[in-house]
Amino acid sequence: MNFRALHQSDRAFLIPNPWDVGTARLLASMGFEALATTSAGYAFSAGRPDNTTSREEMMAHVAAICSATALPVNGDLENGFGDTPEDAAETIRLGAIAGLAGGSIEDSTGRADEPIYAFDLAVDRIRAAAEAARPADLVLTARCENYLVGRPDLKDTIRRLQGYQEAGAEVLYAPGLTSKEDIAEVVRSVDRPVNVVMGLQGAQLTVDELSALGVKRISVGSALSRAALGAFLRAAKEMREQGTFTFAADAVSYRGISELLRG
């Protein structure tokens, strides 16, 4: 089944987020149908905070993930690495060349004083991205970042998603929604597949519950990378502060990882 078709099934599908080639191959070996990159997870793996990756670095990263598995990959392309519609379009074009089956463009500016692009500019950016995605047969996801930048305005979020839908986005996404009521309201308010992210604090809905709400795609953002780093930091703390190594009891075996990576 191709990437676009996955969004048309009756049940939501999981699209987990690897942060490097190894984790992409491990997830592919477990039977998932598609993968998505995580800008934060990748940045953490490079020893940097999120939103400090250049477009050139990101394209090299997504190309590596795409080449690691035959699964379709959706790229976390941040805000398109620039403010203009042309920036968003060029990022989508480069993402398609890198091998992405889909890509997301968000409406976050990265600036504390004005964290979200003005509505008209945000819509124009998605329209330009959609025009670039169409000839490449790339599934464009438009993200409204209101809830991630401290603006939990459901009415404005829906207005923006509706605008992005009209501008040509094929999938809509408002990360940070946590309640059944808000998610259901978003799904009812648009006629495109909706992606919901789980793994954030306060978001504890199941695949069955999200499917019942009409959600079509479920990602986990940086949650897998943070879970792995949490185990790493707890193990390091145990060694440093207690001088013990009990963490190894929960570690995956050398043989187990090797067998998964052999395919």
CA–CA distances in Å: residue 116 to residues 111, 121, 151, 197, 223: 8, 10, 9, 19, 23
Q: Which residues contact 251 (CB under 8 A, 6 or more apart)?
A: none
Measured CA to CA, the distance from residue 41 to residue 258 in angstroms comes to 23
**For residue 202, what pLDDT is reported?**
79
* pLDDT (tens place) for every residue of the chain, 263 residues total: 599 999 999 999 999 999 999 999 999 999 999 999 999 999 999 999 999 999 999 999 999 999 999 999 999 999 999 999 999 999 999 999 999 999 999 999 999 999 999 999 999 999 999 999 999 999 999 999 999 999 999 999 999 999 999 999 999 999 999 999 999 999 999 999 999 999 988 778 999 999 999 999 999 999 999 999 999 999 999 999 999 999 999 999 999 999 999 87
**For residue 1, what pLDDT is reported?**
59
Residue 201 in tokens: 């604090």
Least Cα distance to 177 among 145, 132, 139 occurs for 145
Domains of the chain: 3-221 (3.20.20.60)
Phi, psi of 74, deg, nearest 5 = -100, 130
Which letter, b or e, does each residue of 164-190 get, where b requires 16 or more Cβ atoms within 10 Å of its Cβ? bbebbbbbbbbbbbbeeebbbbbbebb
Q: What does DSSP say about strands 13-15 and 217-219: parallel, antiparallel, or unpaired?
A: parallel
**For residue 203, what pLDDT is reported?**
77
Report if pTM > 0.85: yes
Measured CA to CA, the distance from residue 46 to residue 6 in angstroms comes to 31
Is the dihedral angle over the CA atoms 86, 91, 97, 100 positive or is it negative?
A: negative
**For residue 199, what pLDDT is reported?**
93
> DSSP 3-state assignment of 82?
coil
Phi, psi of 62, deg, nearest 5 = -65, -35
3-state secondary structure 9-54: CCCCEEECCCCCHHHHHHHHHCCCCCEECCHHHHHHHCCCCCCCCC
Q: Which residues contact 131 (CB under 8 A, 6 or more apart)?
A: 89, 168
Chain-centroid distance, C-alpha 138: 15
CA–CA distances in Å: residue 222 to residues 198, 199, 215, 229, 249: 10, 8, 20, 10, 25
List 196's β-bridge partners, or say none: 218
Least Cα distance to 124 among 186, 167, 65, 81 occurs for 167
